[in-house]
Amino acid sequence: MKKIGVVYNPFAGKNKANPEKKQAVLEKIIGNRGIVRATQSIEDICNVAREFQEEGVDILGISGGDGTNQCVLTTFSEIYGEENLPLVALLRGGTMNLREQSLKMKGSPEARLKRLIKVLEKGDCPTIKHTLLKVNDRYGCIFGNGTVTNIMEEYYHGGNPGFKKACVLFLKSLFSSITNQKFITKLFSPIEAQVKIGDETLPQQSFTALMAATTKECGLGFKPFYRAQEKAGYIHFLAIDLSPTEVMKNLHRIRAGKKIHSERVYDIVTKKVEIQTVKPYYYTIDGEMLNTSSNITLAAGPTVNLLAI
């Protein structure tokens, strides 16, 4: 049977309650079929990647959230090389697990690991090919800045992030847009940027959000990236300059995975996008807030084989 190596993040949203106990359960489930390693830093992940490579691990299991997936896949791509990544099993364990939700992958880390072992024992390894989004030197699935990062800042500010808080923030934004409160104005503060798609530079230089993804959903069932899996090796890019009212009017279309009909939305499937902002802005990859940057390159990254469990 193929050898499994699990990277376990004890600080991930749903792992941090009794993390040592949960790690012990994963170790018991995996038995002599593989190894489980807890990581607390990028350095830890680098060391584990080298260990897995030396041990001949065939399947990389990741137990953590969206940020964990991003950090692990980025680090393993550096150690293994983009073309030599092992099969990947997303085991969940985070707060939102956007990628797993988009791919309809359900269950706790323990349940998913048990399911993986059963599938392997039957000799069947169904996979889903998934193109990663490369953001400068990182690999993920969803990129955003502008309104996207403004919303994420509110989401992570105070209290415990999770589905309930995301719903409360959505309702607060909806009410604020109707009553024209300062809160919604803050969320939709424009960013100034020059955007180059292939050889074409967009004439517009003010946007409320710049977004890209290789997965359709972005949380709460919304599917702005309805073309994300249209072409293998491509990304779906959106340059948006809509008012809060215009966004609210299009929510039903975004949730249904349909095109936003507006001349102020640039919607394209492409291989590469270069963004140069007037000043540094925060941006997010898979829900993880990253340091400010004024130069961002988006491109299709390696295609990984995700185990369909």
- In this prediction, residue 265 carries a pLDDT of 97
The domain segmentation of the chain, as residue ranges, is 4-125, 140-301
Which residue pairs, CB below 8 angstroms and at least 24 apart, start in 258-266? 258/226, 259/226, 260/224, 264/240, 265/238, 265/239, 265/240, 265/241, 266/195, 266/197, 266/202, 266/204, 266/237, 266/238, 266/239, 266/240
Tell me whether domains 4-125 and 140-301 share a fold.
no
Q: What are the backbone angles phi and psi of residue 242, rounded to the nearest 5°? A: -110, 150
Q: Give 222's DSSP letter.
A: B
- Averages of pLDDT over each 10 residues, the chain, 309 residues: 95 92 98 97 98 98 93 96 94 83 84 95 89 95 94 78 76 75 87 95 97 90 92 94 91 94 95 95 88 90 92
- From the centroid of its chain, how far is CA 103? 12
> Locate tokens 């400010």: which residue?
292
The type of residue at 82 is E
- In this prediction, residue 173 carries a pLDDT of 81
> Among 141, 266, 162, which Cα is nearest to 206's?
266
Judge whether 100 and 127 are in contact, CB under 8 Å: no
pTM, two decimal places: 0.89
- In this prediction, residue 291 carries a pLDDT of 78
Buried b (16+ CB within 10 A) or exposed e, 200-231: eeeeebebbbbbbbbbbbbbeeebbbbbbbee
Task: Domain 140-301: state its class.
Answer: mainly beta
> Among 9, 2, 5, 27, which Cα is nearest to 92's?
9
**Cβ-based neighbour number of residue 131 at 10 Å:** 20
Token output for 218: 């972005």
Q: Which helix (H) or strand (E) holds 76?
A: helix 66-80
> Among 82, 78, 102, which Cα is nearest to 90's?
102
Sign of CA dihedral 225, 106, 6, 126: negative
- In this prediction, residue 11 carries a pLDDT of 94
The type of residue at 190 is P
**4-125 has which CATH code?**
3.40.50.10330
